[in-house]
Amino acid sequence: MFTSWQGFSQSSINITTYPNVNNLCYKVSFKEVIKISNTVHIQTLTFSDKLKFTEKSYTQEHHQYLKDFFYPNHDIKYKNWNNIFPKWYTVADLIRTDETGVTSYYVTNSPYLPGGWVGHTAPNTKTGYYGIDTRLGTYSRYYKEDHNDAKLLYYNGSLSTFQNFGFLSKFIFEVPTATLLAQMTQQGIYVEQTLSYIKISQPNIRITWKLNEKTIIKEFLKNSSVVNTIITKYTLDPYFQQYLKKSELGIQPLVFENGDCYDNLTEFLFSDYSDVCTTEAVLPQSEQRSNVSEIKVFPNPAQNEISITYPMDDLTGTIKIYSTAFLMSSNVLNPKSSHFIT
């Protein structure tokens, strides 16, 4: 059961009392740099190795909310960036993940691309489609990438967590329960617990909770050597009065082509948590899909609700859905998308 520790499920940790937040916005700042020692021979570095010294950074605004009181949506907007994208690339004005997949909106032109955006020259594919949304008098171009099996599995897994615990639970400092620690000890997993820290260790990962510092350290191991370290720090947020994620520092030891060692450092800073945020009207919460070329049913598999998207506005007829557990039928008159509760 505990052969690989990448994290803990919500049911495996101590849940403190906090509001079930179903509308959350926050800011994420990212920076990537490398750290070298005095033993690095700069004069023997290759050109590609020297490019690694270029600092990369960006700032994003995030908004997570429930659509139709059921589906979790995640909107991301890039506010600024440096050495992240190639010069010719058009940065999406909005990236939205919901039950249908990932949709990227472009409302500005690129001087380097035909038609002004990355989707202009790309044909429809079985993994998504490209189109233009002309509502509100603006040309909001977008492309849609359907969920693959892995993304859909993750989305459906997150669905229950967000509905039961809200979006804030992902950012709160929590520790494993005493029951879970006892179970791991019984299964031969190394557990060390004091008043100031909790530590568990397996051949492929070691996790330490520093209770006083509100810090979690994950060390990923290979042949008893640390190949990656993630240090997550939490601080008391004045708005929610909870210890929320403040920073996440990744440290990965790597080697230049000349054999010298360096550390690749990636740092995420989290700030401005709030539940007072709205979706901009110019980028609608529910996209029209006038260029849909086939009937689509999502999510699949489903638990309590499914959505069906049709290729034409004037489609009439009967929808029948079969499964081993039930048979459901409904007459539909001129919808674009219909919802059925099983």
Rounded Cα distance between 104 and 110, Å, is: 15
pLDDT (mean) for 212-222: 97
pLDDT (mean) for 300-326: 55
Checking if the pLDDT of 23 tops 60, the result is yes
pLDDT the model gives residue 59: 98
Weakest-pLDDT range from 126-135, 300-309, 310-319: 310-319
Task: Give, in order, the Cα–Cα distances in Å from 164 to each of 73, 169, 170, 294.
Answer: 15, 10, 12, 34
Rounded Cα distance between 313 and 304, Å, is: 26
Q: Which residues have a Cβ under 8 Å from the Cβ of 203 and sit 6 or more positions away?
A: 221, 224
Digit-coded pLDDT (tens) for 82-104: 999 888 788 888 999 998 888 88
Q: Is 303 exposed, middle or buried (0-12, 13-18, 19+ CB in 10 A)?
A: exposed
b/e for 143-172, b at 16 or more Cβ within 10 A? bbbbbeeeebeebbeebebbeebbbbbebb
R_g (Cα) of the chain, nearest Å: 24
pLDDT the model gives residue 307: 62
The two structure tokens encoding residue 285: 């919460």
pLDDT the model gives residue 314: 44
Average pLDDT, the chain: 79
How does residue 108 score in pLDDT terms, banded at 50, 70 and 90? confident
Checking if the pLDDT of 341 tops 80, the result is no
Name the residue with tokens 């000349």: 258
How does residue 32 score in pLDDT terms, banded at 50, 70 and 90? very high
Q: Which residues have a Cβ under 8 Å from the Cβ of 88 and sit 6 or more positions away?
A: 110, 112, 113
How does residue 288 score in pLDDT terms, banded at 50, 70 and 90? very low
Name the residue with tokens 């048979």: 327
pLDDT the model gives residue 11: 40
CA trace torsion 115, 117, 120, 123 (10° rounding): 170
Residue type, 269: L
Checking if the pLDDT of 7 tops 60, the result is no
Checking if the pLDDT of 342 tops 70, the result is no
Digit-coded pLDDT (tens) for 151-188: 888 888 888 888 888 899 999 999 999 999 999 999 99
Q: Which residues have a Cβ under 8 Å from the Cβ of 191 and sit 6 or more positions away?
A: 181, 184, 185, 198, 199, 200
CB 181 within 8 A of CB 197: no
pLDDT (mean) for 75-81: 95
Residue type, 203: P
Checking if the pLDDT of 72 tops 60, the result is yes
pLDDT (mean) for 323-338: 38
Checking if the pLDDT of 12 tops 50, the result is no
Weakest-pLDDT range from 72-81, 119-128, 278-287: 278-287
Instruction: Give this prediction's pTM.
Output: 0.74
More confident position, 17 or 330: 17
Distance of CA 334 to the CA centre of its chain: 35
More confident position, 71 or 2: 71
Q: Is 320 exposed, middle or buried (0-12, 13-18, 19+ CB in 10 A)?
A: exposed
pLDDT the model gives residue 2: 34
Checking if the pLDDT of 196 tops 50, the result is yes
Length of the chain: 342
pLDDT the model gives residue 144: 84
